[in-house]
Amino acid sequence: MPSDKAAAGAATGARAEAAGDRPILGTPEEFPPRPRRRGGFLVYVVIGLVVAVLAGGWGYVMLTATGNPLVTPQVITFDASAADSAEITFTVHKPADRAATCRLRALDTGHAEVGSRVIDVPAGKAELTLKERLKTSSQATAVYVDYCDLV
């Protein structure tokens, strides 16, 4: 008496011989020819235009998101040797007919703020050199101009 496994193996072998050595889904010659696609180039042109518009919009956003580029501060020197104060000398470039406000910050060794001050820069000159002193709560190691904005 043949076992169940032997009977199953014989049945599988018979099916394989009936199907032959051909692919299950058929050969490429048996498939119908593909219809010719139309408008492929037009699709790429439309995608290219959409990408160009998005890139241009993103570029515009990045150009306008730079803050206030009309006022540029530049630190010349700073002295943070005193335990309770720091001194900074900086220039401000701005339109001559506009006033500005600048925020100065003093930091300690752990980059924690130990002093800050907002100063007014008067209208009248396009380039001003200012020397300011900040009171600090502890020893500062760095002093810089955080920002300057037109008023």
* CA–CA dist 119, 79 (Å, integer): 18
Burial of 98 (0-12, 13-18, 19+ CB in 10 A): middle
Q: List pLDDT tens digits, range 86-141.
A: 999 999 999 999 999 999 999 999 999 999 999 999 999 999 999 999 999 999 99
Q: List pLDDT tens digits, range 16-54.
A: 555 568 788 888 888 888 888 776 788 899 999 999 999
* CA–CA dist 68, 39 (Å, integer): 47
* CA–CA dist 132, 88 (Å, integer): 5
* CA–CA dist 102, 68 (Å, integer): 12
Alpha helices, H only, 4-150: 4-19, 40-64
Per-position DSSP letters for 63-78, written without gaps between them = HHTS--TT-EEEEEEE
